[in-house]
Amino acid sequence: MKTYCVTGGAGFIGSHLCEQLLSQGHRIINIDNFHDVYDYKTKIRNILSSTGSSFPYSYSGDKAEDLAKLQAMVESDHYSLVITDIRHMDELDAVFASEKIDAVIHLAAMAGVRPSIEDPLLYEEVNVKGTLHVMEAMRKHGVRKWLCASSSSVYGNNKKVPFSEEDVVDYSISPYAATKKSCEVLGHTYHHLHQVDTIMLRFFTVYGERQRPDLAIHKFAKLLDRGEELTMYGDGSSRRDYTYVGDIIAGILGALSYVEQNTSVYEVVNLGTNRTITLRDLITSLEQEFGKKALIRTLPNQPGDVEQTYADVSKANQLFNYQPQTDFAEGLHKFVRWYRGNSNG
């Protein structure tokens, strides 16, 4: 049994990762701050699902009380929930001092391109300074293996497709993208100075069960299901490399195995599918799943939105045999089935 620290382990991707690591018999320390960017009850449900805890869960309506109850419910020899913010260095230090951590998978961040334009200082504080705090805790306590979530947004409006890890990514078009590029640079610094074996994983538009309610597929599904108008920015020709969460988790686990088995590692790696779907085709696919016609309001493209994302995944395949298995139609069907079974959508 190994002990892994997963930051952001109550979120969409993090809860799936914790579930898989637990199924392999490992111990998980989940650090999450339950930020109010969306309802904290969503993350409670994620944790209950990922730890196999019993439903239904009785909410008091008081966030602090509910989270304290959750901590007590899920605490075990294999799982510990630490509710803190990665901006709080003293609290991170206490966690790392009390546990023998084998590796860190750092997923915690303020996410989203458009919100980062409205509050760039918050994004810098959490994504850059918070990541630096995690790396400092690792350095101080001798943890030398880690994975860090980066993003396809670092490519900006790259004209060359598919996007390769060798492409220049010096032209971010949102504060969010800039913070993710900054973390990649910091990761290399700690690899060079402190011999931290590192893989920076550039995720490409992840979707699937437990997807955050503020992301496009989930948001569109809810509006379409309710017969409400959805907003399409641009003419629908923008393209995304949508990656099913199960394939992302397989990629993370492959990268974790690689970084554990090798030394002197610093790699930046795409995790996508090497296929793209237009926004218009996404909406059409949702219409087919729900058997309804969408009411669409068209608005101009938004600042910070990229025209397309398109991953070259050959490096991930070469390093740890990454091979995405789920095509978009299958993955979308799995998401919609989960959505229909989720009482809160």
Q: Which of helix, strand or coil describes residue 292? A: coil
Neighbours of 123 (CB within 10 A): 24
Task: Return the pLDDT at 55.
Answer: 64
Query: Which tokens is 157 given?
Result: 């409006």
Query: Is residue 332 a part of any domain in this protein?
Result: no
Predicted local confidence at residue 343, as pLDDT: 54
Please compute, for residue 202, the number of CA atoms within 13 A of its CA located in the half-sphere on the CB side: 31
Inside any domain, residue 25:
yes
CB neighbours of residue 43 within 10 Å: 25
Q: Has residue 213 been placed in a domain? A: no
220 is a domain residue: no
CATH of residue 75's domain is 3.40.50.720
Residue 340 covered by a domain: no
User: Residue ranges of the chain with pLDDT lower than 70?
Assistant: 54-55, 343-345
- Is the residue at 49 inside a domain? yes
d(C-alpha 340, C-alpha 91), whole Å: 39
The answer to whether the predicted template modeling score (pTM) of the entire model surpasses 0.85 is: yes
Which residue among the candidates 4, 155, 176, 244 is catalytic per the annotation?
A: 176
Question: Tokens 């334009």 identify what position?
Answer: 117
Q: Which amino acid is at 293?
A: K
Neighbours of 256 (CB within 10 A): 22
Is 56 strand, coil or helix?
A: coil
Domain tally, the chain: 1
- Mapped onto helix, strand or coil, the DSSP state of residue 240 is strand
pLDDT of residue 345: 42
Q: List, for residues 292-303, the tens digit of each pLDDT value.
A: 999 999 999 888
Q: Which residues pair with 31 in a beta bridge?
A: 7, 82
| Strand-pair partners of 163 | 311
Residue 176 annotated among the catalytic residues of the structure: yes
In terms of residue numbers, what domain contains 138? 3-204+244-274+311-325
Pair 252, 201: CB distance under 8 Å: yes
Question: Would residue 151 count as lying in a domain?
Answer: yes
List for the chain the helix, strand, coil content (%; round to 5): 45, 20, 35
Q: For the beta carbon of residue 214, count every other beta carbon within 10 angstroms.
A: 13
Establish if 330 belongs to a structural domain: no
